[in-house]
Amino acid sequence: MARFVKCEQCSFRFRPGPLDNDESEQPSVAQESEIRCPRCDTVHVEPEVPPRYWRLYCAVGLAAGCLVAGGMLLSSWLAADPQLKVDAGSTATDRAASSTDPMTESGVSNEDRPEPSLPGAVSAAPQWLDTAGPFNPHDLFAPLEPERNAAPLYLDALIGFSPELAVCYPEDFREPSMSKARERSQEFVSLFRQWKANPNSVDFTTLDVCLAGYRDSFDGLTKAQRRLRCVFDSDQNLFAEQRHVNAAREAANVASLRIHLAMRDSRPTGRKVGAVETPDAVPPAVVEKCLMEMERILRLSRDLRPRGRIETQQASLAIDQTMLGVVPELVARPELTVADCDRITQLITRHRAEAMSPFVEGLRAEYLLLRTLLQDLRSGTGLLPENRLANEGDDGGPQPPVDDSVSAGYLLASKAGVDIVTARAAEIDASLGKFLAEDFEAERDTLDAIWTELFKVSSSSADIRREATSDAEKKLLTDTAFLGALSKITELADQTTWWETTLNSLHCVLAIRRWELEHTEPPPDLLTAVRRLGVSFVPVDPFGGGPLRLSFANDEAMIYSVGPDGVDDAGSKVVTLFAPDAKGDIVFRIPYHAGSPTGQLKNAPGTAPAGF
């Protein structure tokens, strides 16, 4: 049945169809195409009919719009720095102090700022470099897409810690944008020295305001670390300054004070040994904030190592010592839980797993530096200008360059740190004056032979590695004309061993603390405690070759290594700072009150440890 329609002219409702008085049996074409009102004979026009499923289409479109908007909000939330959530309760003074970016204080927006880079940056292997040496040097320059490299973002953030990195930007972007950062850095250095001398003498309000000024710089570090890889393209000249390394060390010092302030401001609650943990027993943001600071700086330390020379590796190890040195103090806090011990253990384990070997990476970069030096002296390509000896002054600024008449021998003797620079410089200049092409080839062959032996022992025990590096330095002095004493490979080997000892010892410290939180009696031996961490043997003492040692005395648990001298002093003589000829043990102490045991515990028998 046909539906009714309404005439727009007279509002008469009728059913379309043939007229009753129509005499023709077949309707005409016009009648088939037109519908006329029976009353006023007005042509009826059908309105446009919407699609059959228009409601469904509208619902689908609305749902799609909601999904897109939700995805954008989620992406924005995930990209936000978690540090902002932790600092949400910061004071108004903190927020005001951190509201300015050092590079935008002069009114330059981030979009207008060029991408920073280190002066003299080298991103590709030189054409003269061959692959016949102890390793393929071209591996150091494996291609890395700029958008995946965290180094430029790091430089942008590290400028807030060291204004000397302003040289990474063109001159138009350096001043006066760095004046505020320079003032803050000078203030922090003064406060940090005061803190190191006597923490109680520091005005904590002043310190808190000073540290708050670095918040944007820490946010920049977090932004850089969203990129998974990092390589700093630095100058391959032996005398080039590593300004980004100095800035990274400053960032570690700032982070260490932020951690100490966080622990000082917390309100720890007492906890009985063996008591069941409750969710409200721990101040909510203290451990999380400390671990966040540690993880960020340890990641920065790891990112310094690729293609880093020996000085860079030493700085990375020093940064690790600064951060890892906080662990015993954090572990000793009474509000620590078993879950916190596990989190710290995971942090240390991940750091070691993801960090490049400082010894191996330092050897590779140092080999390239010495090869570049030989090539420069042979071809006179200008990589060793006579005024490149730029030492830092006491005020942190560069000293005026040395006189243009200074010879290459003087530069090399000064770099080597010999006692009588002038006499040694004359010897080197005399040797270089007689050098022929075959002499440079002989120097290169000697360098290749020495480095080949070093790479063979790179994964050996600490004593074998130290003996090899000591022999290598002697050969550099006796078998080469001017390469001797330029590389501190023995010092790097010792620092690497110290680093390994620290990581192994901290695992034992965490195992003992975890045991105390779960038991009312001390562990029968160190092996029993570390097995609670999932380790089947006691971590090795890299300096002694055997397992690390444990003893209890005066309500303290003590994990110790025999130290660089290899003599077991039972922790009575302690080495606190790295020194190759240090005498004493490396000791880590934490309070321990469960059962108050005394005397040294023996390590339980088991599989001989081969490392951790």
Residues 477, 478, 480, 482, Cα dihedral to 10°: 40
Tell me 554's DSSP state: T
pLDDT the model gives residue 13: 67
Worst-scoring range by mean pLDDT, 71-85, 438-452, 556-570?
71-85
* C-beta of residue 542 within 8 angstroms of C-beta of residue 360: no
Gap between the Cα atoms of 19 and 35, Å rounded: 10
226-282 pLDDT, tens digit each = 999 999 998 888 888 889 999 999 999 999 999 988 887 765 444 444 444 444 444
Q: How far apart are CA 604 and CA 608, in angstroms?
A: 11
The alpha carbon of residue 311 and the mean position of all alpha carbons in its chain are separated, in whole angstroms, by 17
Res. 575 pLDDT band, cuts 50 70 90 = confident
Whole-number pLDDT of residue 152: 93
**pLDDT-derived band at 389, boundaries 50, 70, 90:** very low
Please state at what angle helix 151-158 crosses helix 286-304, rounded to 10 degrees: 120
Q: Who contacts 131 (Cβ-Cβ below 8 Å, separation ≥6)?
A: 137, 138
Model confidence at 606: pLDDT above 50: no
Q: Which residue from 590, 592, 595 is spatially nearest to 521, judged by alpha carbons? A: 595
Would you say 153 and 232 are in contact if contact means Cβ atoms under 8 Å apart? no
Between 358-379 and 310-324, two packed helices, what is the crossing angle to 10 degrees? Answer: 150
What's the confidence (pLDDT) of residue 604?
34
Say what the pLDDT of residue 111 is.
53
% of the chain with per-residue pLDDT over 90: 32
Confidence of residue 123 (pLDDT cuts 50, 70, 90): confident
The closest of 324, 251, 341 to 287, measured between CA atoms, is: 341
Instruction: Write down the H helix ranges in 134-231.
Output: 151-158, 179-197, 204-212, 215-224
pLDDT of residue 603: 37
Q: What confidence tens digit (pLDDT) does each residue in 186-233 have?
A: 999 999 999 989 988 888 889 999 999 999 999 999 999 999 999 999
pLDDT of residue 88: 41
Question: Which ranges constitute the DSSP H helices of 355-436?
Answer: 358-379, 408-416, 421-434
pLDDT at 38: 72
Average of per-residue pLDDT across 358-386: 82
Cβ(270)–Cβ(514) under 8 Å? no
Question: 51-60, 388-397, 418-427, 553-562: which has the minimum mean pLDDT?
Answer: 388-397
User: Which run of H or of E encompasses 586?
Assistant: strand 586-591
**Measured distance CA(261)–CA(204) in Å, rounded:** 8
Q: Is 467 exposed, middle or buried (0-12, 13-18, 19+ CB in 10 A)?
A: middle
pLDDT digits (tens, 9 = 90+) for 151-173: 999 999 999 998 888 888 887 77
Q: CA-to-CA distance for 331 and 268, rounded, in angstroms?
A: 13
In one letter, which amino acid is 471? D
Q: Are 447 and 370 in contact (CB under 8 A)?
A: yes
Residue 100 has pLDDT above 70, yes or no: no
**Residue 516 burial (CB < 10 Å; 0-12/13-18/19+)?**
buried
Answering whether pTM is above 0.85, one says no
Q: Does the structure show a pLDDT above 90 at 509?
A: yes
Assigned token pair, 64:
């799609």
pLDDT, residue 281, reads 47
pLDDT of residue 391: 39
Using 50, 70 and 90 to split pLDDT, how confident is the model at 393? very low
User: Lowest mean pLDDT: which of 51-55, 63-67, 366-370, 407-411?
Assistant: 51-55
The three-point CA angle 61-66-70 to 5° equals: 150
Span 310-345, pLDDT tens digits: 999 999 999 999 999 999 888 888 888 899 999 999
Span of 141-150, 401-410, 426-435, 450-459 with lowest mean pLDDT: 401-410
Q: Quick one: pLDDT at residue 84?
A: 38
Mean of all residue pLDDT scores within the chain: 78
> 558 by DSSP, 3-state: which?
strand
Angle of the 437-456 helix axis to the 358-379 helix axis, nearest 10? 180
Rounded to an integer, the average pLDDT of 416-433 is 79
pLDDT in tens, 34-46: 777 776 666 666 6
pLDDT the model gives residue 21: 43
Residue 296 to residue 308: CA distance in whole angstroms: 19
Please state, in angstroms and rounded to a whole number, the distance separating the CA atoms of residues 434 and 341.
63
Lowest model confidence (mean pLDDT) among 263-267, 359-363, 495-499: 263-267
pLDDT in tens, 366-377: 999 999 888 888
- Average pLDDT of the segment spanning 136-142: 82
